[in-house]
Structure 1
Amino acid sequence: MQKLLVCYKWVLDEQDIKIAGDLSLDTGRAKYKISDYDKNAIEEGVLLAEKHGAGVEALTFGTEAAKQSLKDALSRGLDKVYWIGDEAGKQADAFVTANILAAAVNKIGSFDLILCGEGSSDSYSQQTAPRLAGLLGVPAITYVQQLTVVDGHIVAIRKLGDCTEEITVTGPAVISVLPEINKPRIPGLKQVMAAAKKPSEEIKVTDLGLAAEKLAPKVRSTSLKGYSMDRKKVIFKEANPADNVAKLVASLAQEGLC
């Protein structure tokens, strides 16, 4: 294994998003971050590169804000980051994202393994990785919780409900990883300072040669709203605690909760 690529997304930090009284979302003060699931993909790519003496680079697509991710991404052990910032990133769904990523991969060059997070922290469609694999014509393995390279073969253990499945493939391949695959490192000051000296490269969507229909999303968000959970505020005031418990159980059973 000589070269790995990690795809990640720069998303709004959900902890900073506020829900207004009319349930509209206030993102005015929200900061961006690398999608939590993609941090696992980056960590796994770096771990594999360190173990096998391979190179590991990253690719991200989004709006112009994607450029802000470079220092954080590079401080996590990556050798280089390719970034694509375009207006198409505002409404891009998995269809558009996969088309752009695939075209960018073909432009950059070949890779032995491409890693993605299970899904992004915002839309969590879980479609980008398998779509990317299909466009590149390589195997896709999803929900991977353990990954090794043995004698040049990629061995993945994927989680399927209450069981696991072991799959062995020869690269190149696209693999999406679960959060339990590793614990992403927290970059220290040394790593953050070193990131400033690492290379990054911008790729323009207009240079990818994609037809207009490849940039037209199949799914569009027409509105985004928060949700509220109204409590029933049922209070049981029987003198005998056992009677309160009995009424509670009966109430839960009536709601289909027990």
Structure 2
Amino acid sequence: MEKLLVCYKWVLDEQDIKIAGDLSLDTGRAKYKISDYDKNAIEAGALLAEQQGACVEAVTFGTAAVKQSLKDALSRGLDKVYWIGDAAAEQADAFVTANVLAAAIKKIGQYDLILCGEGSSDSYSQQTAPRLAALLGIPAVTFVQKLTIDGGQVVATRKLGDCTEEVTVTGPAVISVLPEINKPRIPGLKQVMAAAKKPSAEVKVTDLGMAAEELFPKVRCLAIKGYVMDRKKVIFKDDDQAYNVAKLVASLAKEGLC
């Protein structure tokens, strides 16, 4: 493996999102971050590159705000980032995102392995990676919790419900990883300073030769509202704690929860 590519998304930080009185989402003070799941993909790519002596690059598609992600991404072990900032990303679904990423990858070059997070922190559709593989005409391996390279083959352990599956694939291939695959590094001052000297390149959607229909989403988000949980507020406060526990278990059993 000589060249690896990671796809990542620049998303709103969910901890900054507030729910207004009408259940609408207040994002006025929300900052952006690299999707948590994509941090795992970046870490996986950086570790493989270090082990194999390979080059690891990244590509990201978003609005103009995605340019703000470059320093953070490059400080996490990447050698270069290609960024695509376009208004089409505002309403982009997995269909549009995969189309743009595939067109960009075809333009910027061939890769031995393409890594993605299993989903994104905002929509978590879990569609982008397999769609990307289909558009590029290469294999996709999803739900990966362990990844190694043995010779020219990629060995991946997939988490499937209550069991695991080990598969091998020869690159190029698209791999989508689960959060348990690793613990993303926290860049130090040295890595942040070095990131400022690493290269990045803008790729314009208008230069990708895409048809208008490829940028029109199949799914459009009309509204998002916060979820309110209606709690039963049942309190067991007898002096006998064993009695309280028994009543709690009985209540949960009645609700079909145990």
TM-score, normalised to structure 2, is 0.96
CA distance in 1, matches of 2:71, 2:184: 16
Q: Residue 25 of structure 2 aligns with which residue?
A: 25
Q: Which amino acid in structure 2 is aligned with residue 129 of structure 1?
A: A
Q: Residue 228 of structure 2 aligns with which residue?
A: 228
Q: Residue 156 of structure 1 aligns with which residue?
A: 156
Q: Structure 1 residue 231: deviation in Å? A: 1.7
CA distance in 1, matches of 2:240, 2:199: 71
Where does structure 1 lack aligned partners over 5 or more consecutive residues?
A: none
CA distance in 2, matches of 1:52, 1:238: 63
Summarize the alignment of residues 21-60 of structure 1 with structure 2, pairs less than 5 Å apart: 21-60=21-60
Q: Structure 1 residue 65: deviation in Å? A: 0.8
CA distance in 2, matches of 1:49, 1:241: 56
Summarize the alignment of residues 1-258 of structure 1 with structure 2, pairs less than 5 Å apart: 1-236=1-236, 244-258=244-258
CA distance in 2, matches of 1:145, 1:244: 41
Q: Structure 1 residue 242: deviation in Å? A: 5.7
CA distance in 1, matches of 2:237, 2:187: 54
How many residues in Structure 1 have an aligned counterpart in Structure 2?
258
CA distance in 2, matches of 1:78, 1:146: 20
Q: Which amino acid in structure 2 is aligned with residue 147 of structure 1?
A: L
CA distance in 2, matches of 1:95, 1:227: 27
The RMSD of aligned alpha carbons is 1.4
CA distance in 1, matches of 2:80, 2:87: 23
CA distance in 2, matches of 1:25, 1:239: 43
Q: Structure 1 residue 232: deviation in Å? A: 1.5
User: Percent identity over the alignment?
Assistant: 83
CA distance in 1, matches of 2:63, 2:202: 12
CA distance in 2, matches of 1:235, 1:2: 61
Q: Structure 1 residue 164: deviation in Å? A: 1.1
Closer, same or farther: CA 237–157 of 1 in aligned 2, 3 Å: closer
Higher mean C-alpha deviation, range 16-25 or range 100-109: 16-25
SS at match of 1:88: helix
Closer, same or farther: CA 69–240 of 1 in aligned 2, 3 Å: closer
Where does structure 2 lack aligned partners over 5 or more consecutive residues?
A: none
TM-score, normalised to structure 1, is 0.96
Closer, same or farther: CA 251–136 of 1 in aligned 2, 3 Å: same
Q: Structure 1 residue 247: deviation in Å? A: 4.2
Q: Which amino acid in structure 2 is aligned with residue 101 of structure 1?
A: L
Offset from partner CA, 1:137-165 (integer Å, 9 cap, x none): 00000011111111111111111112111
CA distance in 2, matches of 1:56, 1:74: 10
CA distance in 2, matches of 1:77, 1:236: 52
CA distance in 1, matches of 2:159, 2:245: 39
Q: Structure 1 residue 9: deviation in Å? A: 0.2
